Amino acid sequence: MVFDVLTLFPEMFYSVLSTSILKRAIEKGKIKVNLINIRDFSKDKHKRVDDYPYGGGPGMVMMPQPIFDAIEFVKKQGDIPVYYLGPKGKIFNQEMAVKMSKLDRIVLLCGHYEGIDERVYSIIDEEISLGDFILTGGEIAAMAIIDAVSRLIDGVLSDPQSYREDSFFEGLLEYPQYTRPEVFRGMKVPDVLLSGNHAEIAKWRRQKSLEITLLKRPDLLKKAVLTEEDKKFLREKGFDI
């Protein structure tokens, strides 16, 4: 999969893309990240990409011309969907990550300053936000999306089961995890995880996922894929379903 990142600060991505799972995914050819500097498309002799907002007000606004030209440059290579990382977009979630992971290529446009000229929206497919808070720019959001989507691409993780059991993959939060030692400062690993009984372990993990989701994010349960056994368990816990 190819990620075309349109940014004013490509250097922000260097460390992230040269470490851990993303580095290995790039080396294996599972993903490719093109860092495209929007300033390279500015027609201003000083490579200026922002200007004061019409009507007055604080801050600067990203000008349309460099962004239009940058997007059109990428789109010459195909009909590639363009996602703008901005505060007014849909909240990014695992469902969106899964949909993106099935595409061959996407453009991630990183906003900055007070945002983009409104006319840029005419060539954007969708605006995405990480949540109800403000970042200095879209670069950190783009990194999060690249990471979330990449790990869903076949061959990026050594074991596909890793992401299938992640929080949010089936609409539930993940069950508790333990590793060695068996006892640490008086706290013991649950007996069921040491039993070797895989059916009982799977049941325990499922019920713990349900319990944790009920406690921390009950809103997720309304959209989660639940079995009749799940529903019975939740009703016993007092959840109306």
- Report the alpha-carbon distance of residue 31 to residue 25 in Å, rounded: 6
Q: Binding site for S-adenosyl-L-methionine: residue ranges? A: 111, 130-135
Task: Tell me what the mean pLDDT of segment 91-116 comes to.
Answer: 95
Pairing between β-strand 61-62 and β-strand 187-188 as defined by DSSP bridges: unpaired
Enumerate residues 6+ apart whose C-beta is below 8 A from 150: 1, 21, 22, 25, 30, 31, 101, 156
- Ordered by start, the domain boundaries in the chain are 2-150, 165-236
What integer best gives the mean pLDDT of the chain?
93
Hey, what are 30's tokens? 């599972």
Residue 241 binned pLDDT confidence (cut-offs 50, 70, 90): confident
Task: Tell me what the mean pLDDT of segment 103-114 comes to.
Answer: 95
Q: Please give the positions annotated as active site.
A: 87, 114, 151, 166
Class of CATH domain 2-150: alpha beta
Task: Tell me what the mean pLDDT of segment 40-49 comes to.
Answer: 94
CATH of domain 165-236: 1.10.1270.20
In Å, the largest CA–CA distance within the chain is 70
Hey, what are 143's tokens? 């990194």
Task: Using a pLDDT cut of 70, give the percent of the chain over it.
Answer: 96
pLDDT at position 146 is: 98
Residue 240 binned pLDDT confidence (cut-offs 50, 70, 90): confident
pLDDT at position 158 is: 81
pLDDT at position 159 is: 74
- Report the alpha-carbon distance of residue 203 to residue 91 in Å, rounded: 32
Q: Binding site: residue ranges? A: 111, 130-135
Sign of CA dihedral 62, 71, 149, 22: negative
- Report the alpha-carbon distance of residue 7 to residue 116 in Å, rounded: 12
For residues 37 and 8, is the Cβ–Cβ distance under 8 A? yes
- Report the alpha-carbon distance of residue 119 to residue 46 in Å, rounded: 23
Nearest to 170 by CA among 99, 221, 241: 221
Tens digit of each residue's pLDDT (9 = 90 or more) over 170-225: 789 999 999 999 999 999 999 999 999 999 999 999 999 999 999 999 999 988 98
Residue type, 95: E
In sequence order, which ranges of the chain are alpha helices (DSSP H)? 14-17, 20-27, 64-75, 94-101, 139-150, 161-164, 191-194, 198-216, 228-236
Nearest to 55 by CA among 120, 118, 136, 109: 118
